[in-house]
Amino acid sequence: MTTTEAREEVVLEAVRQRREHVNDAIPEELPIDEPTRLYEASRYLLDAGGKRLRPTVLLSVAESLADVDPLSTDYRSFPTLAAGDADRAGPETIDLMGAAVSVEVIQSFTLIHDDIMDDDDLRRGVPAVHREYDVETAILAGDTLYSKAFEIMLEVGATPDRTVEALDVLAHTCTQICEGQARDVEFEARDDVLPEEYLEMVEQKTAVLFAASASLPAVLMGADRETIDQLYGYGLDVGRAFQIQDDVLDLTVPSDKLGKQRGSDLVENKQTLITVHARERGVDVADLVDTDDVEAVTEAEIDDAVAALEESGSIEYANQKARDLVEQGKDRLEVLPDNEARTLLIELADYLIERGY
Amino acid sequence: MTTTEAREEVVLEAVRQRREHVNDAIPEELPIDEPTRLYEASRYLLDAGGKRLRPTVLLSVAESLADVDPLSTDYRSFPTLAAGDADRAGPETIDLMGAAVSVEVIQSFTLIHDDIMDDDDLRRGVPAVHREYDVETAILAGDTLYSKAFEIMLEVGATPDRTVEALDVLAHTCTQICEGQARDVEFEARDDVLPEEYLEMVEQKTAVLFAASASLPAVLMGADRETIDQLYGYGLDVGRAFQIQDDVLDLTVPSDKLGKQRGSDLVENKQTLITVHARERGVDVADLVDTDDVEAVTEAEIDDAVAALEESGSIEYANQKARDLVEQGKDRLEVLPDNEARTLLIELADYLIERGY
């Protein structure tokens, strides 16, 4: 086992431990109420799995802020920073797990609606909700999760002003995710997307939910503005790096390990930071792969395309961009106390760009 | 002009006057931001018209609570009940118009997604959003309106505790609308729906947003619990009556006045309070009209079906139910000061079941 693999194992174990708690909490926050078919469809993707990266970020930030040992404190009754401080009156504890489930529910809602829009058949190894049920039910399941995420956040038990700020973060995050998704669709019809435009799209579509996950515990626990802002920035940085790394992995990881055809983004003419950069360097990106059919493409064709993108420095450009963002994000964690949970957040940032798939 | 028509004219004029204000506020609250296509699609149905009944209820309740003359006060800077009362500290004014736009935005979001689910082509005399644009854009436009409604409500400027309660009402209302829509779809496959089940579905699908509209000004202005609850009940009552009346009008108003084929609910085997009641009385509802094609049905067939439903007492049952609900709702307005705005709310309730179409 290499050093990188050993560190990756530590991070994955930390994620796994928190995932157990999150998985237990999901049916508590989202019981199968009447009408049962609607709630079963709403829970379908949540129950199908997922790493729970965003809840892990949220819970770990809270553990670092509260300066408690990881996994030592009941997430349902988690200390706030106001406890014992008369000047910052607030509840002694909040239901931090509710906040963690709320962001995972938002994530699930966006995936359900995205899969309808992209007409994707599979998600997390199971049929997409609109395939397992139908488009009508999938639209409605997403809509239900949307309002449930707000209902769950409203029950966290923070002071009214902190609750208002948390809901503001959540609502604005959802608006930005919609804007990012709309830009992503719009980019498909354009061949002049600039790297800055791509990064802005990724920020909205992917990174803002990481940013919300990192900053919400600070908002709910009563941290100061500087802390909240830096944590938000950490989420934006690692969230963008996470998406850029996804684009790199699509080209560099063997198909069997990736779980889908390597280079499928190229075949489908999807815009990524790599193709956007290559086009600026004069590479004829649209013709890198001849076929538009993921089933028909050969490994040799993908190899040639990847060689051209390496030649133009585009893969290294994306790699470097992801590394820079992760370093920038890690630096922001200076606002947290130096403790085990903060170390985990640093390692989590590294993991997001070092992970093999 | 009959007395009923004259009273209807008064109500419609009051609705018209408030609609002007609401129509002016919509582009202020929902400007066409980037990405423009997304925001144009989000605004498309809002800009296509609509009576603005829910905002009218919201604004009128506020005018009655504040005991001001209708249309005499700036909705953007509307007095709260706390003003001048040190024991109920709060802002002197709130942006009541923001709250009114928020509920109209929720209404618009549900219509956009419902039209996709029902595959309806037309809405308010223009193509449905998924026809004018496409299904992907319509899903995303609805999602954008969803979070925008929360963002707008967050900007009303009420105290944090009142804002939290208002968002709780809004989130719970959205969840119930989803549940109601899911039940409506589920009912299509059943032939044993009971009147109570139908009324519960209508409460969730239609009435809760009227209830939110009636109670939100009381929440935001700082009214007492009894007032909030009675106003919520008023909205539930008149909202259910409104939907039942829609079902009656589908059978009794000539097609040219209705703007669609009279009896289309029967042709499409849609469950209504009338058909649910008739089935209980032994009428073979599924065979009342032979054809399943709205284009092919004859007026004579509809006449025969309506005669059968009159014979079973089902139309009169629905009429009576709507009248009872309106009377019950009007009684709840006793919690409001006796003023011109309260009279309008009483007349509005009558109008909802006396309207010809």
**Running DSSP on this structure, what letter comes out for residue A69?**
-
Sort out which chain B residues have CB atoms less than 8 A from A106's CB and list them.
Answer: none
Alpha-carbon span B62 to B96, nearest angstrom: 8
B78-79 and B126-127: which strand pairing?
unpaired
Using the Cβ of B133 and the Cβ atoms of chain A, whether some distance falls under 8 Å is answered with no
Residue B182 is nearest to which of A35, A113, A167, comparing CB atoms?
A35
User: Which of chain B's residues have a Cβ under 8 Å away from the Cβ of A38?
Assistant: 178-179, 182
Q: Taking CB atoms and an 8 Å limit, are A175 and B34 in contact across chains?
A: no
Is A205's Cβ below 8 Å from some Cβ in B?
A: no
Lowest mean pLDDT among B132-136, B221-225, B297-301, B318-322: B297-301
Helices (H), ranges, A188-313: 195-202, 208-221, 225-252, 255-258, 264-267, 273-280, 299-311
Residue B196, pLDDT above cutoff 60? yes
Q: Does B161 touch chain A (CB under 8 A)?
A: yes
Contact residues, chain A, for B35 at CB < 8 Å = 179, 182-183, 186
Chain B: closest CA distance from residue A170 (Å) = 9
Distance from CA of A172 to the nearest CA of B (A): 7
* A123 touches B at CB < 8 Å: no
CA distance B183 to B179: 6
Which of B118, B140, B169, B188 would you mutate first to test chain A, the one with the most A CBs within 10 A?
A: B140
Beta bridge partners of B93: B79
So what's the pLDDT on residue B89? 61
Mean pLDDT of B298-314: 91
Going A27 to A33 to A35 to A36, the CA torsion angle's sign is positive
Are B140 and A178 a contacting pair at CB < 8 A? yes
CA dist B330 and B333 (Å) reads: 5
Judged by a CB distance cut-off of 8 A, whether residue B155 touches chain A is no
Radius of gyration of chain A (CA): 21
pLDDT score at A176 = 98
Euclidean distance between CA atoms B32 and B43, whole angstroms: 8
- As a whole number, the mean pLDDT across chain B is 92
Assign A284 a pLDDT band (cuts: 50, 70, 90): confident
For A59-76, the pLDDT digits (tens) are 999 999 999 999 999 999
Distance from CA of B160 to the nearest CA of A (A): 5
Looking at the partner chain, which of A136, A147, A178 has a beta carbon nearest the beta carbon of B144? A178
SS3 sequence of chain B: CCHHHHHHHHHHHHHHHHHHHHHHHHHHHCCCCCCHHHHHHHHHHHHCCCCCHHHHHHHHHHHHHCCCCCCCCCHHHEECCCCCCHHHCCCCEECHHHHHHHHHHHHHHHHHHHHHHHCCCEECCEECHHHHCCHHHHHHHHHHHHHHHHHHHHCCCCCHHHHHHHHHHHHHHHHHHHHHHHHHHHHCCCCCCCHHHHHHHHHHHHHHHHHHHHHHHHHHHCCCHHHHHHHHHHHHHHHHHHHHHHHHHHHHCCHHHHCCCCCHHHHCCCCCHHHHHHHHCCCCHHHCCCCCCCCCCCHHHHHHHHHHHHHCCHHHHHHHHHHHHHHHHHHHHHHCCCCHHHHHHHHHHHHHHHCCC
The token duo for A40 is 């079963």
Q: Which residue has the higher pLDDT, A188 or B179?
A: B179
Please compute the mean of the pLDDT values over residues B138-160 and round it to a whole number: 97
Reduced to 3 states (helix: H, G, I; strand: E, B; else coil), residue A93 is strand
B292 interfacial to chain A (CB closer than 8 Å)? no
CA dihedral of B91, B97, B102, B107, whole degrees rounded to 10: 150
The burial class, CB within 10 Å (0-12 / 13-18 / 19+), for A292 is exposed
- Across the interface, of A143, A148, A159, the residue whose CB is closest to B113 is A143
pLDDT surpassing 80 at residue B85: no
* Distance, CA of B153 to CA of B155 (rounded, Å): 5
Tell me, yes or no, if A48 comes closer than 8 A to chain B by beta carbon.
no
Instruction: Quick: pLDDT tens for A37-57.
Output: 999 999 999 999 889 999 999
The answer, yes or no, to whether residue B5 has pLDDT greater than 90, is no
CA–CA–CA angle B125, B131, B137 (5° rounding): 120
Cis ω for the linkage preceding B35 (within 30 of 0): yes
Using a CB-CB cut-off of 8 Å, the residues of chain A touching B116 are 135-136, 139
A174 touches chain B (CB under 8 A): yes
Separation in Å, CA A146 to CA A54, B148, B191: 16, 12, 31
CB A141 within 8 A of CB A133: yes
Any chain A CB within 8 A of the CB of B136? yes
Q: Return the higher-pLDDT residue of B36 and A7.
A: B36
User: Looking at beta carbons, which residues of chain B come within 8 Å of A147?
Assistant: 146, 171-172, 174-175, 178
Can you give the pLDDT at residue B41?
96
Mean pLDDT of chain A: 92
Contact B98, B155 (CB under 8 A): yes
Contacts of B175 in chain A (CB under 8 A): 144, 147-148, 151
Q: How many angstroms separate the CA of residue B355 from the nearest CA in chain A?
A: 31
The answer to whether B151 contacts A159, with C-beta atoms less than 8 Å apart, is no
Of residues B299 and B327, the one with the higher pLDDT is B327
Q: Which residues of B193-207 are buried (b: 16+ CB within 10 A; e: fewer)?
A: bebebbbbbbbbbbb
Give contacts of A178 with chain B, Cβ < 8 Å.
Answer: 38, 140, 143-144, 147
pLDDT at A88: 60
Percent of chain B exceeding pLDDT 90 equals 73
Q: Is the pLDDT of residue A264 over 90?
A: no
**8 Å CB contact of B168 and A151:** yes
Residue B140 Cα distances to A106, A175, A180, angstroms: 14, 10, 10
Each residue of A308-343: pLDDT tens digit?
999 999 999 999 999 999 999 999 999 999 999 999
- Spell out the residues 6+ positions from residue B258 whose beta carbon is closer than 8 angstroms to its own: B249, B250, B357
Mean pLDDT of A278-286: 89
Torsion angles phi and psi, residue B124, rounded to 5 = 55, 35
Please list every residue in chain A whose beta carbon sits closer than 8 Å to the beta carbon of residue B182. Answer: 35, 37-38, 137, 140
Q: Hunting for tokens 């005991």 — which residue is that?
A: B67
Q: Please tell me which of the candidates B140, B148, B171 has its beta carbon nearest to residue A150.
A: B171
- pLDDT exceeds cutoff 70 at A219: yes
> What is the model's pLDDT at position B264?
83
Domains within chain A, CATH numbers bracketed:
3-347 (1.10.600.10)
Residue B224 structure tokens: 């007492």
CA distances from B12 to B52, B152, B326 (A): 11, 27, 18
Average pLDDT over residues B310-324: 96
Please, which pLDDT band fits residue A238 given cuts at 50, 70 and 90?
very high
Indicate the helix (H) or strand (E) that contains A347: helix A340-354
Residue range A75-96, pLDDT digits in tens: 999 999 975 555 566 779 999 9
Task: Give the closest of B143, B159, B170 to A178, CB-based.
Answer: B143
Contact B186 A147 (CB under 8 A): no
Contacts of B183 in chain A (CB under 8 A): 35
d(CA B234, CA B246): 18
Residue A213 has pLDDT above 60, yes or no: yes
Q: Is the pLDDT of residue B156 over 60?
A: yes
- Chain B CB within 8 Å of residue A84 CB: no
**Strand, helix or coil at A67?**
coil
pLDDT given for residue B84 in this prediction: 53
Distances in whole angstroms, Cα of residue A161 to Cα of each of A90, A279, B67, B175, B278: 10, 48, 29, 24, 52
